[in-house]
Amino acid sequence: MTPKSYSISSYNNNNKDNYDTDLEKKIRELNETETDWVSIYLVYVMLFFGGIQITVYFTSMWPYLSTINSKANVDTLGWVVASFSIGQAFGCPFFGWWSEKIKSTKIPVCCGLIFVMIGNFIYSLLANFSNEKVNFMMILSRFLVGIGSGTNGVLRAYNATACNQSERRKVVALGIASMTLGATIGPVIQALFNPFGIDGYLLFNVIKLNLFTLPPLVMVVVCAISITFFFFSFKETFIGIEEENEKDKNIDDKIVKGNQKLPPFDKIAVAICIYNWFVIQTMATNVEVLASPLTITMYNWTDSQAILYNGIMLGCSAITNFINFLLQAFTRLRYVDARKMIVIGISMFLMYNILNYPWPFYTEKLDYIKISPNNTENTHYSGGCSRKFTWCEETPRTPLFLYVISFVFCLGIGFPSISGPNGALFADILGPRRQGFMQGIMELFGSIARAIGPVSATWLFNHSGTRYYMILQGILISIAVILIIVFKKRLVPLQI
């Protein structure tokens, strides 16, 4: 169970004669300070929109790309999805470092949203580019949005340091819930634009308004409103930070009062939390990037059906996610040992992979895509397994009801069971110091997972279907369980 307050450990008791009573006073003040809920609620709103930016195009990205570039393949899709994460990998540590340096959350976040606006606007204009340029421009658009989304680490760091430790599990759980809810609702928002169809309407003879281009244009408007609202409404509060002044200077986490300083955080414990986040992001990206190609192949869904049905499943998973986060925030579930919750979540991930592995006792075989009237394989016309895949004949179909149940419940329970407790534990391990850079590093590794995941998952899917990418995920998940069991005693809050 996570301690409700920071305590004085043997780190300082060994030097009790020289112990700085001002530091003891500071620790008591930290434990008694009230959480600034007003600013935290504003951050929740920003995290929600940040989550939407991550996934709003995942179910439609492949149909959009194949529509504007007939030569595109699933490997190209992997690089498009990875470009977002590569951009985020640059943005996370930079914005985290910048936020710590200027001791501000507001300015980096607003600057990041400008990148997001530019990227979304380019995405809406992709149909205006030639086949030779469209792949590059799609990658560029997602790269820019990724850079801007690097501010998610800054927002999460603010949440961790704008509350007292007794409420951190609740604050962090709701923060990640906001981002996760946004991420799972993103494809649902895309599905809402399905009635506009692929042909759509032409605006000013330049912008084609259809089910692919309307969502990014809406996101541009949302970002503009968010920048204005956040810049003028957000007031920052930091709890647990020794603010710098002439008499009491904070340098690299050292509280310069006599000979005392904050103890260093446990690097192994921090690394394990970061690895857990890496596993979460790997799972999320693999599921999201392959949702459309996999269901088109497995269940003969057309492009429009894949967008709609995957959007519905993601919406149901989002509801399961959100209920889980609410239980963590407002019931006794938040007092359950974070390590146990993480293991439960990882077990749900493992169950998802087991159920969706192409076991030989799944006897139903895959169907090939029906040839369209123009003698081509066109997933607008018919779903199924493409004849370019050599594994269609030997790969059984996972029963649809198992896929839906595991998608909604295994993932819906697994993601919040890991991300909420893991995020709170990570903040507690770091202790009452500025966390912008370290939260940025955590987001960096999540971005690396999101960059590697789509490329590796699409490559494995092209060459072997779901078999080997399920095995790869299973290995990553198993390593996470082993690390938690072996280093259980080190996964505790910083003792001051």
Pairing label, strands 207-209, 201-203: antiparallel
Task: Give pLDDT, residue 496.
Answer: 66
Task: Average the pLDDT over 150-162 and give the result.
Answer: 84
Task: Give pLDDT, residue 302.
Answer: 86
- Of 55-64, 310-319, 336-345, the poorest mean pLDDT is in 55-64
Query: What would the 3-class secondary structure string for 37-98 be?
Result: HHHHHHHHHHHHHHHHHHHCCHHHHHHHHHHHCCCCCHHHHHHHHHHHHHHHHHHHHHHHHH
Determine the Cα–Cα distance for residues 453 and 448; give it in Å rounded to an integer: 8
Task: Average the pLDDT over 457-481 and give the result.
Answer: 89
Which of the pair, 16 or 86, is modelled with greater confidence?
86
Angle at CA of residue 34, ends 28 and 35, nearest 5°: 120
Average pLDDT, rounded, for the chain: 81
Is the pLDDT reported for residue 310 higher than 60?
yes
Contact 173, 325 (CB under 8 A): yes
Task: Average the pLDDT over 222-243 and give the result.
Answer: 79
Contacts of 475 (CB under 8 A, 6+ apart): none
Task: Average the pLDDT over 144-149 and give the result.
Answer: 91
Which of the pair, 95 or 371, is modelled with greater confidence?
95
Task: Give pLDDT, residue 31.
Answer: 59
Contact 187, 295 (CB under 8 A): no
Which of the pair, 430 or 82, is modelled with greater confidence?
430
Q: Tell me the domain boundaries of the chain.
A: 32-241+261-490
Q: Please provide the distance, in angstroms rounded to a whole number, between the alpha carbons at the two ends of the chain.
A: 18
If one counts every other C-beta atom within 10 angstroms of the C-beta of residue 487, the result is: 15
Which of the pair, 428 or 165, is modelled with greater confidence?
428
pLDDT digits (tens, 9 = 90+) for 237-279: 777 655 444 344 444 444 433 444 667 889 999 999 999 999 9
Structure tokens at 334: 């938040």
Determine the Cα–Cα distance for residues 316 and 184; give it in Å rounded to an integer: 9
Task: Give pLDDT, residue 15.
Answer: 47
Task: Give pLDDT, residue 455.
Answer: 79
Q: How confident is the model at residue 10 (pLDDT cuts 50, 70, 90)?
A: very low
Task: Average the pLDDT over 139-158 and give the result.
Answer: 89
Sign of CA dihedral 353, 354, 357, 363: negative
Is the pLDDT reported for residue 114 higher than 90?
yes
Task: Average the pLDDT over 307-320 and give the result.
Answer: 83
Nearest Cα neighbor of 496 from 447, 429, 446 is: 429
Angle at CA of residue 372, ends 371 and 374, nearest 5°: 115
Contact 156, 134 (CB under 8 A): no
Is the pLDDT reported for residue 8 higher than 50?
no
Determine the Cα–Cα distance for residues 457 and 397; give it in Å rounded to an integer: 18
Q: How far is CA 173 from CA 116, 230, 445, in A?
A: 25, 22, 20
Nearest Cα neighbor of 311 from 28, 10, 63, 41 is: 63
Determine the Cα–Cα distance for residues 313 and 330; give it in Å rounded to an integer: 26
Rg of the chain, C-alpha, whole Å: 24
pTM score, two decimals?
0.75
Q: Helix, strand, or coil here: 254?
A: strand
- The CATH number assigned to the domain with range 32-241+261-490 reads 1.20.1250.20
Is the pLDDT reported for residue 11 higher than 50?
no
Task: Average the pLDDT over 100-123 and give the result.
Answer: 90
Is the pLDDT reported for residue 482 higher than 90?
yes
Is the pLDDT reported for residue 213 higher than 80?
yes
Task: Give pLDDT, residue 32.
Answer: 61
Task: Give pLDDT, residue 25.
Answer: 60
Q: How far is CA 287 from CA 292, 347, 351, in A?
A: 9, 16, 14
